[in-house]
Amino acid sequence: MRSDDRRAIWLGAAIAAVATLLLAVIAASLESTINAPGKRTVAEPLLWALGGGAGIALGSVVTAWLTRRVGAAALAGLGGAVALLVLLIVAYNSTDLRFEDQLVGTLLVVVVPAYIGAMVCATFVALVARLFARLFRRHTPAVPTSSPAV
């Protein structure tokens, strides 16, 4: 793995973690705006998942574009997924459920679907980045590296 790839993974993980926390909180705060008073058309965990998934996708997409690799984007997305999981466990600290049940339920219902959606986006971006790299390689004129001998 190149050092540029490592930097891109760390950058993407940082972007994913910060954007996940920020967008998940913003999405949760919009719950009263989206749902009419007395009606619950969109569940709050879905809003958390959409906001968190958007943050995970943002970090993964940045890494996928920089490295053109899906594996690197998946590693960067893990930073956002862990941040979302911790946020949701702390935010929904329910005494009705055991910690293990809350952890597994949050992981399976909210975090894993958000991570999968982010990986679909990152895969598409990695493929597009590879396509652009090939196109620009073909159409870039060759530049001589040394002057001809006189």
Q: Residue 125 — very low, low, confident or very high, per pLDDT cuts 50/70/90?
A: very high
Q: Sign of dihedral through CA atoms 16, 113, 51, 21?
A: negative
How much of the chain, in percent, has pLDDT values that exceed 90?
47
**Cα 124 from chain centroid?**
13
Confidence at residue 147, expressed as pLDDT on a 0 to 100 scale: 62
Report the alpha-carbon distance of residue 17 to residue 129 in Å, rounded. 23
Average per-residue pLDDT for the chain? 86
Q: Which SS3 state, helix, strand or coil, does residue 142 take?
A: coil
- Can you read off the two tokens belonging to residue 5? 């790839």
**pLDDT for 43 beyond 80:** no
User: Taking phi first (over 0 means left), then psi (-120 to 50 degrees means alpha), and beta for anything else, what does residue 69 get?
Assistant: beta
Report the alpha-carbon distance of residue 72 to residue 2 in Å, rounded. 11
Confidence at residue 49, expressed as pLDDT on a 0 to 100 scale: 85
Q: What is the mean pLDDT of residues 4-24?
A: 92
| Domain residue ranges of the chain, discontinuous segments joined by + | 3-139
The residue with greater pLDDT, 100 or 69, is: 69
Q: What is the mean pLDDT of residues 111-135?
A: 92
**pLDDT for 150 beyond 60:** no
